[in-house]
């Protein structure tokens, strides 16, 4: 009987160990991943501009290995960076000046000032869960990028506005350390045009999107200096304008390990990408050689979720975004299945619904 009991215990121990491994494998992805990366048959690339092939090198040879893709990836990245224009390098050291501290339930929120680029200062809200630092466990960090609104960082950090717009505060309450930087378009200027003019005076060969990307990377710099943050688990999230910044940040900053872009509009003509504070009029040319499927491919294989609201009011992403996502998926498949890129379309327009926020938070929790 004792031998039988020992054998049963050993068998049970093996089963528990196997079950734990299976559980971890199942937890490795969101349960709804297949729903958001299934390309619909009716997706059309009409009015999306020129699609340069991704898995073909500059000599016309096909690419079927990750090594060959890494070489082509550098070519694509260099073309995009030449188009966007240069920004100051190296970036300044991060020194935070605390302007205000708010004690909230479960979270401490600080308004901080820091040098964004040499001689240029900016502000952002830092949100830290109150139990961060209670042990040696570091937390994942999130750069939360605000949409076009006069409230800028006040809304996303939960100072004012609707709860469903307070992405930064809500994520901090779920255990993330969150930094919400103010976009340069609203930093110490009277109008968007003034902000662009000042930027072009300092950097005449750099687009507005180059400045937004640079400033978002400075947000990652801020998180990387914090003792509570695990620098290997940093992500990004944004809605509308913030989603545009999230796409570029994830593409060009490999410190971002997972990201969600809500209603930024992947297609050049789906929103005002040709505005002077984004990419300018060059993208209106039907033969413009760059497109956003390339930026999606630069993100691979890191998890990236596009959230759309089509066909609700003012929607920027949805069915029309699929061709760009589908074009980038073969790059993800160089790493095998599953492909951790996709589109979640809630169909409620240019908003983040309460249910959609739960999915956004789950995506970042699972992949960070």
Give the single-character DSSP code of 286: T
Distances (CA, A) of 53 to 228, 252, 291, 326, 330: 42, 20, 10, 12, 11
Contact 362, 134 (CB under 8 A): no
Contact 213, 323 (CB under 8 A): no
Two tokens, residue 146: 């605000």
At residue 156, the pLDDT reads 98
Do the bridges between strand 139-145 and strand 120-129 make them parallel or antiparallel, or are there none, so unpaired? unpaired
Tell the residue number behind the tokens 């979270």, with chain if given: 107
Contact 55, 331 (CB under 8 A): yes
Tell the residue number behind the tokens 């240019």, with chain if given: 350
Q: For the chain, what's the residue count?
A: 368
At residue 177, the pLDDT reads 98
Contacts of 245 (CB under 8 A, 6+ apart): 145, 183, 212, 213, 216, 238
CA 268 to chain CA mean position, Å: 18
Residue whose C-alpha is closest to residue 107's, from 74, 142, 147, 75: 142
Contacts of 278 (CB under 8 A, 6+ apart): 207, 208, 209, 212, 244, 272
Strand partners, 307: 262, 344
CA 202 to chain CA mean position, Å: 27
At residue 290, the pLDDT reads 97
Contact 230, 138 (CB under 8 A): yes
Contact 145, 155 (CB under 8 A): no
The Cα 20–Cα 12 span in angstroms is 12
Contact 55, 330 (CB under 8 A): yes
The model's pTM: 0.92
Residues in the chain predicted with pLDDT less than 50, given as ranges, are: 1-2, 4-26
The Cα 298–Cα 76 span in angstroms is 8
Contact 141, 226 (CB under 8 A): yes
pLDDT digits (tens, 9 = 90+) for 13-38: 433 333 333 333 445 999 999 999 99
At residue 249, the pLDDT reads 98
Contact 145, 245 (CB under 8 A): yes
At residue 132, the pLDDT reads 83
Tell the residue number behind the tokens 């690419």, with chain if given: 63
Contact 290, 336 (CB under 8 A): no
Contacts of 146 (CB under 8 A, 6+ apart): 152, 153, 155, 156, 180, 182, 183, 238, 239, 241, 242
Strand partners, 259: 236, 304
Residue whose C-alpha is closest to residue 280's, from 198, 206, 201, 190: 206
At residue 49, the pLDDT reads 87
At residue 178, the pLDDT reads 98
At residue 27, the pLDDT reads 59
């Amino acid at each position: 009987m004792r031998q039988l009991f020992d054998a049963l215990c050993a068998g049970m121990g093996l089963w528990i160990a196997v079950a734990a491994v299976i559980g971890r494998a199942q937890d490795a992805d969101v349960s709804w991943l297949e729903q958001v990366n299934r390309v619909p048959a009716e997706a059309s690339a009409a009015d999306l501009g020129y699609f340069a092939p991704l898995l073909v090198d500059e000599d016309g040879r096909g690419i079927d290995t990750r090594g060959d893709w890494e070489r082509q990836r550098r070519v694509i990245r260099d073309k995009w960076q030449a188009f966007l224009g240069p920004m100051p390098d190296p970036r300044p050291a991060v020194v935070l000046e605390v302007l205000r501290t708010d004690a909230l339930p479960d979270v401490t929120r600080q308004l901080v000032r820091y040098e964004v680029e040499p001689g240029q200062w900016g502000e952002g809200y830092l949100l830290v869960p109150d139990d961060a630092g209670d042990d040696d466990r570091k937390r994942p960090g999130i750069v939360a990028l605000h949409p076009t609104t006069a409230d800028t960082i006040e809304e996303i950090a939960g100072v004012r506005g609707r709860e469903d717009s307070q992405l930064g505060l809500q994520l901090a309450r779920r255990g993330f350390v969150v930094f919400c930087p103010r976009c340069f378009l609203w930093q110490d200027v009277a109008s968007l045009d003034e902000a662009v003019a000042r930027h072009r005076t300092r950097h005449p060969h750099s687009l507005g999107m180059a400045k937004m990307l640079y400033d978002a990377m400075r947000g990652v710099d801020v998180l990387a200096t914090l003792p509570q943050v695990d620098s290997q688990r940093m992500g990004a999230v944004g809605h509308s304008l913030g989603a545009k910044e999230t796409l570029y940040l994830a593409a060009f900053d490999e410190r971002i390990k997972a990201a969600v872009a809500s209603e930024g509009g992947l297609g050049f003509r789906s929103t005002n990408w040709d505005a002077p504070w984004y990419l300018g009029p060059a993208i209106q040319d039907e033969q413009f050689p760059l497109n956003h499927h390339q930026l999606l491919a630069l993100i691979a294989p890191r998890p990236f979720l596009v959230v759309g609201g089509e066909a609700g009011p003012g929607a920027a992403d949805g069915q029309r975004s699929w061709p760009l996502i589908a074009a980038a998926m073969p790059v993800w498949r160089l790493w095998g299945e599953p492909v951790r890129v996709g589109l979640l379309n809630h169909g409620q327009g240019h908003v983040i619904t309460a249910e959609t926020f739960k999915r956004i938070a789950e995506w970042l929790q699972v992949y960070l």
